[in-house]
Amino acid sequence: MDRDRILLTPGPLTTTLRTKLAMLKDWGSWDADFNAVTASVRSRLLDIVHGQDSHVVVPLQGSGTFSVEAAVATVVPRDGHVLVPDNGAYCKRAAKLSQMMGRQATLMPVPEDRPVDAAAVEAQLQADPRITHVILIHCETGTGVENPLAAVAQVCERHGKGLIVDAMSSFAALPIDARSTRFDALIAASGKCLEGVPGMGFVFIRKAILDACAGNSQSLAMDLHDQHVYMGKTGQWRFTPPTHVVVALSEAITQFVEEGGQPARLARYTQNCQALTEGMAALGFKPFLDPAVQAPIIVTFHAPAHPAYDFKRFYEAAKARGFLLYPGKLTQVETFRVGCIGAIGPHEMRQAVNAVRETLAEMGIPDGTPAL
């Protein structure tokens, strides 16, 4: 096969040749040329959320979770208390990392197949005045459900609470406008819907709270206030930057803008999601979520009921046909996931469905009908 395998996952994703080629050069971490790339990436990231007036953006080395952890460490005071509406695995992870850093955390259970209800968040804020911040996972990648960012932001603003948004799998695809949606911190990463490669995250921090963040972090490496101050003074990252990741992200952002920015990306991912769900429905598969609450990012499907089904075999047979699927993340029901994001279009999604059709045939499974 002369084509790279298509990654139908929530990141790393399939990237373009241009993005890959951008990594074929070495850069000095102190050099002015590299500092200019960092500055340009930061500025163009702010443009994506219309945040030039209201926010700064601070990049951080590492996978997405490093930046979630850094955002909480930097923005939430050590005696702070976070509320995490919980409809999935990434919500639980955010609460856990907050607690491990010594912050109080309350999980607010929400059914996994339902979006967070802003009115329920408001009731919880009224019932528990100890809460200082809400952490909202914008798209809960564990299922693919979209949570109502604008409505939760309004509730937080009304009650004078901070809001931290994990927009890891939604940023650059779903609309986020800092001019109308108030958030204290919003986190995403290079290797998601911007279609860069993994290796760095970035956190938008509201300028109005920035000074109060000094000294919050109990960790040196995770201190985004310090990273911001140092970058402001020197133009450099505090510690060794992931140079190739940064230049690949710069090239990926250029292509994102050429494509037409967030609306165009959302339109392409929506087409991908439609091609996928229609094709899979024709094979008898059933999505876990109601389409009304499904973000066009990643789709969770029920596993087929047929006794010959085994995810490992299913995965290997689809892989042999050039497509990498993703395991499910639910504990109660057997599922698998298929990502709609990356440098792919509906044509690749139809090819993926065809690979699944052939895979079922190879496994002797007549169709994808689940055990419901």
Which positions lie near ligand PLP, rule CB under 6 A? Answer: 10-11, 63-65, 68, 90, 137, 141, 166, 168-169, 189
Q: Is 274 exposed, middle or buried (0-12, 13-18, 19+ CB in 10 A)?
A: middle
Cβ closest to ligand PLP, residue 137 vs residue 273: 137
Asked if 74 and 204 count as a contact pair (C-beta separation under 8 A), the reply is no
Shortest Å distance, C-beta 94 to ligand PLP = 8
**Per-residue buried b or exposed e for 358-369, using 16+ beta carbons within 10 Å of the residue's own CB:** ebbeeeebeebe
**Dihedrals φ, ψ of 10, to 5°?**
-85, 25
Residue closer to ligand PLP by CB (options 135, 156) is: 135
Both tokens of residue 183? 């958030």
Whether the CB-CB separation of 192 and 169 falls below 8 Å is answered with yes
Q: 321-349 as b/e, with b when 16 or more CB fall inside 10 Å?
A: bebbbbebbbeeeebbbbbbbbbbebebb
Minimum distance, C-beta of residue 167 to ligand PLP, in the bound complex (Å): 8
CA distance 357 to 372: 21
Least distance from ligand PLP to the Cβ atom of residue 62, Å? 8
Q: Which is nearer to ligand PLP, 266 or 360 (CB)?
A: 266
For ligand PLP, give the closer residue by CB, 193 or 283: 193
Nearer to ligand PLP by C-beta: 70 or 210? 70
Q: Which of 181, 188, 337, 340 is nearest to 265 (CA)?
A: 340
Query: CA-CA distance, 19 to 79, in Å (whole number)?
Result: 43
How far apart are CB 197 and ligand PLP at their closest, in Å?
A: 12
Smallest separation, CB 190 to ligand PLP (Å): 9
Beta-carbon count within 10 A of 372 CB = 7
Strands 162-166 and 185-189: parallel
DSSP E strands, 295-365: 298-302, 323-324, 326-327, 335-339
Return the structure tokens found at 95: 């609460």
Least distance from ligand PLP to the Cβ atom of residue 81, Å: 21
In the complex, minimum distance from the CB of residue 348 to ligand PLP, in angstroms, rounded to a whole number = 20
User: Which lies closer to ligand PLP via its Cβ, residue 107 or residue 320?
Assistant: 107
HSE value, Cβ hemisphere, 13 Å, CA-based, for 341: 33
Q: Please, what is the minimum distance in Å from the beta carbon of residue 189 to ligand PLP?
A: 6
Which CB atom, from 66 or from 237, has the smaller least distance to ligand PLP?
A: 66
Query: Which residue, 111 or 129, is less far from ligand PLP as judged by CB?
Result: 111
**In angstroms, what is the minimal distance from the CB of 296 to ligand PLP?**
14
Minimum separation from the CB atom of position 93 to ligand PLP (A): 7
d(Cα 353, Cα 34) in Å, to the nearest integer? Answer: 42
Among residues 61 and 227, whose Cβ is nearest to ligand PLP?
A: 61
Helix (H, G, I), strand (E, B) or coil at 139: strand
Closest to ligand PLP by CB, 46 or 168: 168
Q: Which residue is nearest to ligand PLP (CB)?
A: 64
CA distance 167 to 140: 9
For residue 62, the tally of other CB atoms under 10 A from its CB is 17
